Amino acid sequence: MSNLTKTVKLHARLKTKKEATKILGLIGDSIEHDTALRNVSTERDSTPFKVLISTMLSARTRDPVTEAASARLFEFFPDSKSLSGARSSRISKLIYPVSFYQVKAKRIISVAKIIEKDYGGKTPSKMDELLELPGVGRKTANCVLVYAYNTPAIPVDVHVHRISNRIGLVSTRTPEETEQELSRIYEEKYWLAVNELFVSFGQTVCKPIVPRCGICRVKAYCNYYENLVRTGESPVSA
Ligand code: SF4
């Protein structure tokens, strides 16, 4: 049985809205770097198209790899017009070593073609339109809303899903359920911040395999930590 499963059984009280807000603040105090998407979205020549393509590249890929691949790609193909006419072998070479680079190369060219043909080169800003693009799911669409258009939404990736369940903000099985529950527990004014804070926190403190509970500012509120203490299992790592 995994520690996460054990945690839910041992101590399953979910956090109140007030506690959830406090926890968000503590996570904000803990993080020391911006995510790749924040960096891409705040660059001087950033566009919604670049945010969309970087988000697609980022799936199952570490942030530094995503950022470097995005920079190489956008140097030659900065918009849907140029990317829609590219050969996939060229794009594969530019974005390597992002995971599934050959599949992603074909997908981002397809997306560029659709944006060029159906949207006149303007990346859609509505959830239902984004979801119609090949390879774009709820997480990617929500990232575009948040990072490109400043539209309140909560993108839920593996970090957001894991951390929310460990702490006891939610008790869910899928990222979609987590998105629903987080949208309920957090007022809309916090939505723009949730993904950025949780992802950065998950990369540096509440890591997937070995969470750094010893140094974590959230531990006083964390179900996972409380259950480790209760059962006598020491926190995993400082
Ligand atoms: S105490 Fe541990 S499990 Fe809980 S949020 Fe912090 S690092 Fe994650």
Res 10: pLDDT: 55
Mutate to test the pocket of ligand 1, among 169, 199, 224, 231 (most ligand atoms within 8 A of CB): 224
Q: Give tens-digit pLDDT for 73-84.
A: 999 999 999 999
Ligand 1 atom closest to 217 (CA): 6
Q: What are the structural domains, with CATH classification, of the chain?
A: 3-31+153-230 (1.10.1670.10), 36-149 (1.10.340.30)
Q: What angle do CA 165, 166, 167 make, to 5 degrees?
A: 95
Question: Confidence class of residue 238 from pLDDT cuts 50, 70 and 90?
Answer: low
Q: Is the pTM of this model over 0.85?
A: yes
Mutate to test the pocket of ligand 1, among 206, 221, 230, 233 (most ligand atoms within 8 A of CB): 206
Other Cβ atoms closer than 10 A to 210: 9
